[in-house]
Amino acid sequence: MVLIDCFLMLLLAYGFGFLYYGLYRNLSARVHGRFGPSLAQSFFDSVKLFVKEQSTTFGWMFYAGPIIMATGAVLNVLFIPFINHGDSLQGLSSSANLIVVLYLMVLGPLGNALGVGSNGNPFGVMGITRGLTRLIALELPFYLAVIGVMIDAGSADFSAIFEAQSQEMNLLKHPLLFMAAFISFLGFMGKSPFDVVGAPQEVYSGPATEFSGKFFALLLSQSAMFSFAKLLLMVNLFLGGADDLGDLVLKTFVLFVAATFIGSVYARFSTIQSVEFLMRIPTLLGIVGLALL
């Protein structure tokens, strides 16, 4: 039963991940005054890349990078419950808590660093250096907000966090903590103004520069699933989780559209600017939010 549940969760995350990625391309095209590609375009891209030949090899560690990243994304999807009650779409969330999920969230960037480090491409290394520097600044406000949520619920278990939000969701109870987490979340999603990692005009594709064919497709697929996992985490922590599948789609969609629109209108921060900004505004919001608990 758990196995079927896990399979269903992965399937949903894969489907919604690509749908949202397609929607992101479409919505940002509308913001630019274009029509944009079809909603399934990212899925077409991924299928095409899976059947494309691999042109390079840099040893086994190069291939291990995307696999470690995909492992992190899959585990995150399985450990975060989709629905806030009952037994369906819970996956392995009863055997894990928020701390495990937060730990697994940094597995991806570390796997990426290992893979990129072995190919020796200067643009890849520059991208990953930017990514890890930014990650330190991203984690601080996000963890402050998560600590606030955990103090409020008195536990790191998802069930306790849902229980604490049964009357009023954390977004309304602790708006400052939500704002701190949301600004970090923009960075985790790779949206502007924190999209310095893969900035195409500066470091080509950043960490993905040397990846082609199947492993690039794996990178795209895991990034789509991981984005959905991050949306789920935000919904569970601040929007009270989802009552059913329709609620899940609605809440993740609202959060996703907000992130996309903010990302479409801001210019890119440089690495040092994003670190400074994240260390000041959202961190301060997080500290004040914690003090007001």
Partner 1 sequence: MEEGFNAYRQSLESEEQSIKSTQSVVEQAIAWFRAHSMFVLAYGTGCGAIEMPPTFTSRYDIERLGVVGVATPRQADILIVSGYCSPKTLKRVIRSYEQMSDPKYIIGLGSCTINGGMYWDSYNTIKKLDDFLPVDMYVNGCMPRPEALIEGFVKLQEKIRLNSSEAGYIKYRDNYAHYRANQERLFGAQVAPSYEENFAGMN
Task: Summarize as ranges the residues that interact with partner 1 (CB under 8 A).
Answer: 25, 29, 32-38, 41, 44-45, 47-49, 51-56, 200, 204-205, 208-213, 216
Q: How many CB atoms lie within 10 A of CB 265?
A: 10
**282: helix, strand or coil:** helix
Closest approach of partner 1 to the CB of residue 205, in Å: 5
Picking from 116, 142, 274, 138, the residue whose alpha carbon sits closest to that of residue 203 is 116
Rounded to whole angstroms, how far apart are CA atoms 238 and 235? Answer: 6
**Between 56 and 95, whose beta carbon lies closer to partner 1?**
56
Q: Is the dihedral of CA 125, 225, 186, 201 positive or negative?
A: positive
Closest approach of partner 1 to the CB of residue 38, in Å: 8
Closest approach of partner 1 to the CB of residue 59, in Å: 15
In angstroms, the first-to-last Cα distance of the chain is 40
Closest approach of partner 1 to the CB of residue 230, in Å: 24
**Between 48 and 280, whose beta carbon lies closer to partner 1?**
48
**199: helix, strand or coil:** coil
Closest approach of partner 1 to the CB of residue 77, in Å: 25
**Between 200 and 246, whose beta carbon lies closer to partner 1?**
200
**Between 139 and 195, whose beta carbon lies closer to partner 1?**
195
Q: Which residues have C-beta within 8 Å of that of residue 146, sequence separation ≥ 6?
A: 98, 102, 181, 237
**Can the peptide bond before residue 66 be classed as cis, meaning omega within 30 degrees of 0?**
no
**249: helix, strand or coil:** helix
Question: What is the token pair recorded at 135?
Answer: 């990650």
**Between 55 and 167, whose beta carbon lies closer to partner 1?**
55
**Between 119 and 184, whose beta carbon lies closer to partner 1?**
119
Do 61 and 112 touch, CB atoms closer than 8 A?
A: no
Closest approach of partner 1 to the CB of residue 212, in Å: 4
